[in-house]
A and B are shown apart, each in its own frame.
Chain A
Amino acid sequence: MSAEALSGSQAAVVAERSRRDRPLDLVGIVLTAITLLVALASFFPIYWAIITSVKPDGEVISGSNSLWPGRFVFDSYIHIWNNTNIAIWYVNSMVTSLIITVLVIVSSAGCAYALSQLDFPGRRLIYVLILACFMVPMQALIVNHFVLMAQFKLLNTWAGIILPQLIVPVVIIVYKQFFDSVPKEFREAAQMDSAGHFKILFRIYLPMNWGVTAALGIITFIGAWNAFLWPFLAATGEATMTVPVGITQVKDAYGIVYGKLMASAVVAGLPVAIVYLIFQRRVTQAIMLSAGVKG
Chain B
Amino acid sequence: MLRDRKQEYLTALILVGPFILIYGALFVWPTIQMVLLSFTKAPLIGVGDWVGWDNYVKILSQKLFHSAFWNTAWFVVLTVIPNTLISLAIALAVNRLNGWLQGLVLACFFLPYILPVSVVFLTWNWIIDVQYGLAQGVVALFNGGEPKSLTRTIPLFMPTVAFVTVWWTMGFNILLFIAGLRNISPEIYEAAQLDSAGRWRQFYRITWPLVWPVTVLVLTIQLIAQLKIFDQVYLFSIGGRQDATITLVQYIYKLAFQQNKGGEAATAAVLLFGMIIVLSVLQYQLLRARGEK
Chain A contact residues, CB within 8 Å of chain B = 16, 20, 27-28, 31-32, 34-36, 38-40, 42-43, 45-46, 48-49, 52, 60-61, 63, 65, 103, 106-108, 110-111, 113-115, 118-122, 126, 129-131, 133-137, 139-148, 150, 163-164, 166-167, 172, 196-198, 201, 222, 225-226, 228-229, 233, 243-245, 247-248, 258, 261-262, 264-266, 268-269, 272-273, 275-277, 280, 283-284, 287-288, 291-295
Cross-chain contact A45 with B96 (CB below 8 angstroms): no
User: Please, how many angstroms separate the alpha-carbon atoms of A272 and B22 in the complex?
Assistant: 26
Cross-chain contact B265 with A143 (CB below 8 angstroms): yes
What chain B residues lie within 8 Å of A40 (beta carbons)? 108
* Residue-wise interface mask of B (114-126) relative to A, using a CB-CB cutoff of 8 A (1 in contact, 0 not): 1111110111111
Give residues of chain B (1-37) contacting chain A, Cβ–Cβ below 8 Å.
8-9, 11-16, 18-20, 22-23, 25-31, 33-34, 37
A selection of 22 A-B contacts at a CB cut-off of 8 Å is A45-B124, A49-B119, A65-B137, A110-B18, A115-B16, A118-B8, A120-B16, A135-B276, A135-B284, A136-B273, A141-B27, A141-B269, A144-B30, A148-B25, A167-B22, A247-B119, A265-B119, A265-B122, A266-B119, A284-B175, A291-B176, A294-B183
Cross-chain contact A143 with B269 (CB below 8 angstroms): yes
Cross-chain contact A244 with B34 (CB below 8 angstroms): no
User: Please, how many angstroms separate the alpha-carbon atoms of A99 and B243 in the complex?
Assistant: 37
A273-B111 contact, Cβ under 8 Å, with A35-B94, A134-B280, A144-B34:
yes
Q: How many residues of B contact A (CB 8 A)?
A: 94
Cross-chain contact B27 with A133 (CB below 8 angstroms): yes
Cross-chain contact B172 with A287 (CB below 8 angstroms): yes
What chain A residues lie within 8 Å of B31 (beta carbons)? 136, 141, 144
Nearest 3 CB-CB pairings of A with B: A135-B280, A144-B30, A120-B12
User: Please, how many angstroms separate the alpha-carbon atoms of A60 and B13 in the complex?
Assistant: 60
A248-B121 contact, Cβ under 8 Å, with A126-B19, A135-B276, A145-B30:
yes
What chain A residues lie within 8 Å of B252 (beta carbons)? 139-140, 142-143
What chain B residues lie within 8 Å of A201 (beta carbons)? 15
Interface: B57 (CB within 8 A)? no
What chain A residues lie within 8 Å of B125 (beta carbons)? 261
With a 10 A CB-CB cut-off, give which of A46, A48, A143, A163 has the most chain B CB atoms. Answer: A143
User: Please, how many angstroms separate the alpha-carbon atoms of A55 and B137 in the complex?
Assistant: 20
What chain B residues lie within 8 Å of A145 (beta carbons)? 26, 30
CB distance from B225 to the nearest CB of A (A): 9
User: Please, how many angstroms separate the alpha-carbon atoms of A136 and B109 in the complex?
Assistant: 30
CB distance from A56 to the nearest CB of B (A): 14
Cross-chain contact B276 with A129 (CB below 8 angstroms): no
Cross-chain contact B253 with A142 (CB below 8 angstroms): yes
List 8 additional contacts besides A48-B134, A287-B175; criterion CB under 8 Å. A42-B108, A43-B111, A49-B126, A110-B16, A110-B18, A120-B12, A150-B45, A293-B176
User: Please, how many angstroms separate the alpha-carbon atoms of A113 and B18 in the complex?
Assistant: 13
User: Please, how many angstroms separate the alpha-carbon atoms of A43 and B110 in the complex?
Assistant: 9
What chain B residues lie within 8 Å of A118 (beta carbons)? 8, 11-12, 15
Interface: B54 (CB within 8 A)? no
What chain A residues lie within 8 Å of B180 (beta carbons)? 293
What chain A residues lie within 8 Å of B162 (beta carbons)? none
**Residue of A with least CB distance to B18:** A107
A247-B122 contact, Cβ under 8 Å, with A48-B134, A167-B26:
yes
Cross-chain contact B96 with A28 (CB below 8 angstroms): yes
Cross-chain contact B231 with A229 (CB below 8 angstroms): yes
CB distance from B199 to the nearest CB of A (A): 7
CB distance from A75 to the nearest CB of B (A): 17
A147-B45 contact, Cβ under 8 Å, with A119-B8, A258-B129:
yes
Interface: B80 (CB within 8 A)? no
User: Please, how many angstroms separate the alpha-carbon atoms of A45 and B273 in the complex?
Assistant: 35
**Residue of B with least CB distance to A245:** B118
**Residue of B with least CB distance to A272:** B114
User: Please, how many angstroms separate the alpha-carbon atoms of A270 and B202 in the complex?
Assistant: 41
What chain A residues lie within 8 Å of B85 (beta carbons)? none
Interface: B246 (CB within 8 A)? no
What chain A residues lie within 8 Å of B132 (beta carbons)? 60-61, 63, 258
What chain A residues lie within 8 Å of B224 (beta carbons)? 137
Cross-chain contact A39 with B27 (CB below 8 angstroms): no
Interface: B272 (CB within 8 A)? yes
What chain B residues lie within 8 Å of A273 (beta carbons)? 111, 114-115
What chain B residues lie within 8 Å of A226 (beta carbons)? 114-117
User: Please, how many angstroms separate the alpha-carbon atoms of A273 and B78 in the complex?
Assistant: 28
What chain A residues lie within 8 Å of B107 (beta carbons)? 277, 280
Cross-chain contact A39 with B105 (CB below 8 angstroms): yes
Cross-chain contact A140 with B117 (CB below 8 angstroms): no
User: Please, how many angstroms separate the alpha-carbon atoms of A20 and B195 in the complex?
Assistant: 12
A136-B121 contact, Cβ under 8 Å, with A35-B105, A46-B111, A272-B116:
no
Interface: B127 (CB within 8 A)? yes
What chain B residues lie within 8 Å of A144 (beta carbons)? 30-31, 33-34, 37, 266
Cross-chain contact A65 with B115 (CB below 8 angstroms): no
Cross-chain contact A39 with B109 (CB below 8 angstroms): yes
Cross-chain contact B26 with A49 (CB below 8 angstroms): no
Cross-chain contact A147 with B44 (CB below 8 angstroms): yes
CB distance from A111 to the nearest CB of B (A): 4
